[in-house]
Amino acid sequence: MRILGDVDRPVYNACMQPSPSPVTPAPSPRERILLTAHDLFYREGIRATGIDRVIAESGVAKVTFYRQFPSKNDLICEFLEYRHLQWMAWFSDALARHGGGPDALCPALAEWFADVHFRGCAFINSVAELGGTLPAVVEITRRHKQDMADAIAGLLPASRHNKQDALDLALAVDGAITRAQMDETPDAALASLKRIQKSLQRGR
């Protein structure tokens, strides 16, 4: 299965359609299903995307689909697990490219917010759609958000407040993601996040 480094775009949530080449083997049916579901679920929503559409666009037979994913819920969880690994790989790389310190947070997120395929946080969106009916979505999302907070903690100076400061910034990041999804531009979201980050640094 392809990882972030194999994607031609600089931002994680760009479309990742399979493109067989002499170097990269063609994706398996399971990978085609997952990549197709990933793009459709993120772009159009989970409830709005039926299994028949995933089957048609991934080019697999219905029996092949159900052999790989016995239910839509199984596919949803696999989508979120895949998204988690890919997004965290992109996030860590982007933070490092922007210096690896506290000031890397906003430029890294600015890359994502500016991408034409940006549709907010897949995990927040999924909890809004399914959190009340599919507990696994909430569990995966909590783990994702904790890993994001841990990555942010790695940007901050060592102190007894490091963990709490990272959790505060992670919450501010979620707010910025939501605001950037709604506004015509992400400028206000990024400016507010920058002020929060600076206030936390000054306060310590």
| pLDDT tens figures, 28-69 | 999 999 999 999 999 999 999 999 999 999 999 999 999 999
pTM score of the predicted model: 0.87
The alpha carbon of 143 is separated from its chain's Cα centroid by a whole number of angstroms, namely 12
Rounded to 5°, angle at Cα 10 from 8 and 12: 95
Single-letter code of the amino acid located at 117:
H
Return the CATH number of 4-203, one of 2.60.40.420, 1.20.120.1200, 2.40.170.20, 1.10.357.10.
1.10.357.10
Would you state the pLDDT for residue 201? Answer: 81
Residue 1 pLDDT > 60: no
Q: Are 145 and 174 in contact (CB under 8 A)?
A: yes
**Which among 143, 203, 148, 204 is positioned nearest to 174, based on CA atoms?**
148
Checking 48-52 for CB contacts under 8 A at 24+ apart, the result is: 51/75
